[in-house]
Amino acid sequence: MPELPQAHSPLGASSAERWMACPASVSLSAGHQDEESDHAALGTAAHTLAAYCLTKDVEPWRLIGQYVAEDKIDGAEDKIDGAEGKHLIDKEMADAVSEYVAFIGAEFPDRNQGNSWVERKFHCPSIHKYFYGTSDFTAIVGRKATVVDYKHGAGIVVDAVENPQLMYYAAGVLEDLNAWDSVDEIELVIVQPRAFHYDGPIRSWTISTAELVAWLEDKLVPAMDRALVSRDTKSGEHCRFCPARFGACPQIVSDVDEMEELMKTIGKDGGGAPKLTGEQLARFLDLGEVFKIVRTAALKTATVRVQNGHKVPGWKLSKARSNREFKEGAEAAAKKEFGDDAYSQPKLKSPAEFDKLPKGKDFTARWAFKPDAGETLVPEDDARPAVNKDVKSMFKPIKKSK
């Protein structure tokens, strides 16, 4: 493999959705250190566990109680509570990773025959200088390739359909393996056990090799070239992971000005929000989502500043809210003191908890249901299906009598 220009590509797969939409985000992010969040660090640890289990053929639950440290698993004797860079393998992590490992095992039982790769690295300067990365899992069976990406996150749901990160990985692996002519179609799979999606935790989408080549040549590579020189900006959900959100992003400044104009329209003649057109309402809501992202970045910056002894007028550090927990030995003491009154009455598990039991999903398929919770307005790309509110469909056309 050619030597990589740097550890992480500035035009990498994981940020493709951002720099394809906002080319200038690459140059605007230069010099801004976006420290890894606790959620991102947890995701990295879960990926390390998943790769270890697939490579060593170990069930994740066997490693509960051990730690993930950097790119390896520490034994139980190496436990250091709260050690920097170490993440405990608890039941939640093991359960989630188990779904991924089980999927790979079921779909590719002969994966150790030289036709699959775990954490496959690629660098393809033949496509672009900055075209490199690592695919979680790749397999080629017959004339079909499968690229699987594990998502440990629970907050942001990821779709497989036209997913630029997965398509990037697919192109990189096929180029690296020189397999373009031996593969007709590529199945792109997202495994995300901890986030709810109407299509379930495992979602896939298939694209032909010809379609992937067209996307690579017509969209991805031109977008990579554009991102190196363009000053064009665009705000949106992709701002959530942009390092430039901590800086003076010109698009955010422009968004603030645009919001100010919308606020003037709302306040004009006391008309309020109903004064806005449908397009203006949509833009108002879009801008509001962007401001939530920027506010989170500002809150993080302000917190660090106050922790370092500086003042942020009107704000202070305070203890975060938490629930009381019992000390070790409390159960034995409570049982002695209160007897059976120390325990709650048995309560039926939730449908989600039943799903984890043997034959639990068969039980919930028969007995569980989702009560109608009403309606809520969500972005158009949300995974939930739309509720038909076409007024015309409520009425039948009336034919005039002669």
Rounded CA separation 108/293 (Å): 40
Range of the domain at 279: 248-307
Average pLDDT of the chain, as a whole number = 86
Exposure string over 337-367, b if 16+ CB within 10 A, otherwise e: eeeeeeeeeeeeeebeebeeeeebeeebeee
Judge whether 122 and 133 are in contact, CB under 8 Å: yes
pLDDT given at position 382: 75
- pLDDT tier at 77, thresholds 50, 70, 90: very low
pLDDT given at position 194: 92
Lowest mean pLDDT among 33-47, 119-133, 159-173: 33-47
Is residue 148 located within the same domain as residue 82?
yes
232: nearest Cα among 16, 13, 400, 20: 20
Q: What is the pLDDT of residues 147-159, one digit of tens each?
A: 999 999 988 899 9
Judge whether 181 and 144 are in contact, CB under 8 Å: no
pLDDT given at position 81: 38
Is residue 156 located within the same domain as residue 215?
yes
Q: Give mean pLDDT, residues 291-320.
A: 88
**3-state DSSP call for residue 161?**
coil
Is residue 75 located within the same domain as residue 209?
yes
Is residue 40 located within the same domain as residue 150?
yes
108: nearest Cα among 95, 121, 117: 117
pLDDT given at position 356: 80
Rounded CA separation 397/309 (Å): 71
Q: Give mean pLDDT, residues 14-37.
A: 85
Q: Which stretch of DSSP H or E encloses residue 150? A: strand 144-150
pLDDT given at position 135: 96
Lowest mean pLDDT among 41-55, 219-233, 273-287, 380-394: 380-394
Q: Has residue 163 been placed in a domain?
A: yes
Q: Please tell me the pTM assigned to this model.
A: 0.77
Judge whether 61 and 98 are in contact, CB under 8 Å: yes
Q: What is the pLDDT of residues 180-191, one digit of tens each?
A: 999 999 999 999
Rounded CA separation 183/143 (Å): 4
Q: Which stretch of DSSP H or E encloses residue 266? A: helix 250-267
Rounded CA separation 215/224 (Å): 12
Is residue 209 located within the same domain as residue 97?
yes
The partner residues of 123 in beta bridges, in order of sequence, read 132
Q: What is the pLDDT of residues 261-288, one digit of tens each?
A: 999 888 887 778 888 889 999 999 999 9
pLDDT given at position 79: 39
11: nearest Cα among 173, 153, 180, 172: 172
Q: Has residue 396 been placed in a domain?
A: no
Q: Is the pLDDT of residue 143 over 90?
A: yes
Is residue 197 located within the same domain as residue 160?
yes
Rounded CA separation 229/227 (Å): 6
Per DSSP, the residues of 89-149 read --HHHHHHHHHHHHHHHHH-TTTTSSSEEEEEEEE-TTT-TT-EEEEEEEEEETTEEEEEE
Q: Has residue 28 been placed in a domain?
A: yes
Q: Has residue 27 been placed in a domain?
A: yes
Is residue 39 located within the same domain as residue 130?
yes
Is residue 137 located within the same domain as residue 259?
no
Which phi and psi angles does 90 have, rounded to 5°?
-100, 180
Q: Give mean pLDDT, residues 133-144.
A: 96
Q: What is the CATH number of the domain that holds 32?
A: 3.90.320
Q: What is the pLDDT of residues 379-390, one digit of tens each?
A: 887 777 788 766
Rounded CA separation 119/137 (Å): 6
Q: Has residue 387 been placed in a domain?
A: no
Is residue 221 located within the same domain as residue 286?
no
Rounded CA separation 119/55 (Å): 10
Structurally, the chain folds into a number of domains equal to: 2
Is residue 254 located within the same domain as residue 210?
no
Q: Has residue 324 been placed in a domain?
A: no
Q: Has residue 331 been placed in a domain?
A: no
Is residue 167 located within the same domain as residue 302?
no
Percent over 70 (pLDDT), the chain: 89
Is residue 216 located within the same domain as residue 254?
no
Q: Has residue 276 been placed in a domain?
A: yes
